[in-house]
Chains A and B, each alone.
Chain A
C-alpha cells in the first residue's frame, strides 16, 4: 500500500537537497568570481584615466596621497606613461588608508574636485610632491588651498564641489572596490588584471609586456 504523505516527503527532501546543491554551487561560483575580479570593471571618472582607451597595457593604480611609497610609484609610473604614451593606459583609483592617514580622504576628495576642473594630474602631483608638508599637519587645509592656487583652481568652485555628496561617494566607492579586491597595502596595481604590490612588482610585470609589444 502506498502512503502519499511518505511519497511527498521523499520528493520534498530530494527537491530540498537539489536546491541546497544549487544554492551552494551558485554561492561558490559567485564568491570565486568576486575573488578573481570577474565582475564588470568599475569605471573611474574620465579625469582619472590617462592614455589611449585601446592601449594594450592597462594599469589600475590604487593609491593613497599620504603614503610615501605611493609618491615614489606615482613619479615612476609617470615616467612609464611618458616613455610609452601609446602603449599604456593608467586608471587612478583612491585607496586612502584612513586608520593611519587622517587627511587622505580629504586629499582624495580635493583631487577629484580638481579633476572636475580638468586639473587632476596637477593637483595630485602637488599632493605627492608636498606630502611631507601636510601629512602630519594638524590643519592641512591651508596647504591644500595653497596647492589649489598653485594648480590654478577656482577656489569657489572647488569648495562647492567638496560639498557635493557624489564626489565623496566616488572616493568611498573606490575604497569599497579596493576592499573587495583584497587590497591591504598601497600602492597596489592591477596590470591587465594581474596584481602587483609596490612599484618594483609593477615594473616586473610591465617590462615583459613592453618587450613583447616591441
Chain B
C-alpha cells in the first residue's frame, strides 16, 4: 500500500479540491433541501429568466442533485463524472449571476446556500470561480488518492476470477 509520504503535491491539491468542493456543494444542497422549496423557488424567480413550472421544478430537484453530486465527489466515486457535472452546474450558475448583474436585478439573496443573506453578486461570482478551479483540480487529480473509485478498482483487480477454458 502506498504511504501518505508518497503522495505528490498535485495529488494533494486534487484530493483537497475534490473534498472541499464536494462538501461545499452537498452542504449548499442540504440547506435548501431542509427548507421549504417555495423559498428556493422565490430565489430562482428573482433571476427573472424561467417560467413558473421550471422554477418550481428546479427548486424541487436542484438541491437533491447538489447533495448527491457533492457527496459522490467528496467520496471520490465516479469522480470525473461528478466533477464534470458540478463544473457544468457552476458554469450555469455563473451565467445566471452574470446576467443578473448586467441587468441590474435587485437580488438580495443569490439562493446559493438557501435563502439566507448572501454576498453581493460580484463577490458570489468571484467565489464561484474559485469553486470552478476546485472542480478542475478534482477532474484532473482528484481520483488518484483516497477515492472510492481507486478502492473499488483495486478490489476488482485483486479479486480471484474464474478463467474461461
Contacts and interface: CB of A to CB of B under 8 A. Distances in A.
A19 B78 contact: yes
A133 to B, nearest CB: 32
A18 B152 contact: yes
Interface string A164-204: 00000100110011011000000000000000000000000
A40 B42 contact: no
Contacts of A208: none
Nearest to B154: A11
B38 A176 contact: yes
Interface stretch (A2-10, A61-69, A117-125): A2-10
Interface stretch (A31-39, A70-78, A104-112): A31-39
A188 to B, nearest CB: 16
7 contacts: A11-B153, A11-B156, A15-B77, A15-B149, A22-B71, A30-B67, A180-B35
A35 to B, nearest CB: 9
Contacts of A27: 64
B68 A26 contact: yes
B72 interface: yes
A7 B26 CA distance: 31
Interface residues of A, number: 29
Given A1-B163, A11-B156, A26-B68, A18 B39 contact: no
Top 10 closest A-B pairs, CB basis?
A39-B34, A176-B36, A176-B38, A11-B156, A34-B34, A14-B152, A30-B33, A180-B36, A177-B36, A33-B34
A6 B161 CA distance: 10
Contacts of A138: none
A1 B148 contact: no
